[in-house]
Structure 1
Amino acid sequence: MARYTGPKSKIARKFREPIFGPDKALERKNYPPGQHGPSKRRGKQSEYSIQLTEKQKVKYTYGVLEKQFSNLFKKASAKGGIAGTNLLQLLEARLDNVVYRLGIATTRSAARQLVSHRHILVNGELVNIPSFSVRPGDVIEVREKSKSLEAITNSVAGRTINKYSWLEWDSKNLTGKFIQFPDRESIPENIKENLIVELYSK
């Protein structure tokens, strides 16, 4: 399946969460989409359906395709510790997500585009693969020729204080550092990763 490019508000309403950022449509219609609106009777979800929905929500949130997600889960399971936490840490370490968290882009999809269009360096080397895994100590920066791009300057200008303890940011040089993998409590997304672990354990 190709990456989803349809209406984002529709997906946000499906999960009843602003997974793509603030959404006025979701605020007005905080119920799943459909021709019958909020009055439609919706049957009780099965355990499998709840688990699958949670996995889909995470995939949409981080912009990950099915095969990528499956491979990440295998990698998370192979590591020591809690598989669900490992999975979220691997998702947070994706280059497009790190660019978004640093405030270089306002959304993950915009960050993915910046990486793909060769505007981002990792440790001084050009990397144009959004799924590239950043490691602790890696330095992420905006390419010199790209620092004047309006999309980047506007995003950085709207950036507040550093919200994430696992990242460092140098606003003068548009340079960030991935200090460490975040602990579970530091990741702000409303995700029940235990449901995903249960789904893959079947």
Structure 2
Amino acid sequence: MARYTGPTTKIARRFGEPIFGSDKSFQKKNYPPGMHGRGRRKKQSEYAIQLMEKQKAKHIYGMLERQFENLFDKASRLPGITGDNLLRLLEARLDNTVYRLGISPTRRGARQLVLHKHIMVNGQVVNIPSYTLRPGDQISVREKSKSLEVITNSLAARTAQRYNWLEWNASDMTGKFVAPPAREDVPENIREQLIVELYSK
């Protein structure tokens, strides 16, 4: 499947914020990429702003256009506010949860761990990054993968940040997806209402 594998700093500069986390290169060049990046002052249309917000969400969660469109369609059919539903579904993805638990330092790395069968859900190996977790699901590192350097280094560098919709047991490398997060708990700077407006056109 096609997947963007280019420089992440260039993408972050396009949106004017370090959407992939701390980035020294972004701090040095926090203006749009391209030869006219510094002097770009063109006023954006309403559509362009909405499209940029959708593209930003896609890049943050590492999704392709069709995947994102299908997820939005699913969110729109659920009861409640469509924008909130969309973020809850994005946060419930297995690769995102592996990243949130600190098993991998990046979502891209988390996706690789899932694809290479290092992650289990409820005791069964799941190698589908887009797998949607349900409340109560147990996420764990496969026994023979617990000594992997990429995993141990990530967990060793894990910060004190905790998410109240997740639980983590460091002793046996097991986490739990307690419930979909409330909108105010999701730390990403995404204006989901703009995405809803874009798809409503």
TM-score range for the pair, normalised by the shorter chain length: over 0.9
Once superposed, what is the RMSD of the aligned Cα atoms? 1.0
TM-aligned CA deviation for residue 44 of structure 1: 0.5
- Quote the Cα distance in structure 2 between the aligned partners of 1:30 and 1:77: 35
Residue identity in the other structure for 1:36: H
- Correspondence list, 1:105-124, <5 A: 105-124=104-123
TM-aligned CA deviation for residue 36 of structure 1: 2.8
TM-aligned CA deviation for residue 199 of structure 1: 0.1
Instruction: Sort the Cα spacing of 1:37 and 1:71 in 2 relative to 1 into closer, same or farther, 3 A.
Output: closer
Deviations 1:108-148 (A, max 9, x none): 00000000000000000000000000110000000000000
Cross-structure match for 1:43:
42
Deviations 1:20-54 (A, max 9, x none): 1111111111110111341x233110000000000
Instruction: Sort the Cα spacing of 1:150 and 1:91 in 2 relative to 1 into closer, same or farther, 3 A.
Output: same
Cross-structure match for 1:91:
90
| SS of equivalent residue, structure 2 residue 139 | strand
Is 1:5 aligned with 2:12?
no
- Correspondence list, 1:138-153, <5 A: 138-153=137-152
Q: Percent of counterpart pairs with the same letter?
A: 69
- Quote the Cα distance in structure 1 between the aligned partners of 2:165 and 2:36: 44
Unpaired stretches in structure 2, ≥5 consecutive residues: none
Is 1:30 aligned with 2:34?
no
Is 1:14 aligned with 2:19?
no
Contact 1:162 1:168 (8 Å CA) reproduced: no
Contact 1:121 1:143 (8 Å CA) reproduced: yes
- Matched pairs, number: 201
Deviations 1:66-108 (A, max 9, x none): 1110010010000011000100000000000000000000000
Deviations 1:144-201 (A, max 9, x none): 0000000000001111335100000000000000000000000000000000000000
Contact 1:136 1:180 (8 Å CA) reproduced: yes
Cross-structure match for 2:158:
159
Contact 1:16 1:30 (8 Å CA) reproduced: yes
Residue identity in the other structure for 1:92: E
| SS of equivalent residue, structure 2 residue 109 | helix
- Quote the Cα distance in structure 1 between the aligned partners of 2:161 and 2:194: 30
Which moves more between the two structures, 3-12 or 108-117?
3-12
**TM-score, with structure 1 as normaliser:** 0.97
- Quote the Cα distance in structure 2 between the aligned partners of 1:16 and 1:65: 21
Unpaired stretches in structure 1, ≥5 consecutive residues: none
| SS of equivalent residue, structure 2 residue 34 | coil
Cross-structure match for 1:59:
58
TM-aligned CA deviation for residue 57 of structure 1: 0.2
**TM-score, with structure 2 as normaliser:** 0.98
Cross-structure match for 2:71:
72
Is 1:104 aligned with 2:103?
yes
Structure 1 stretches of 4+ moved >3 Å:
none
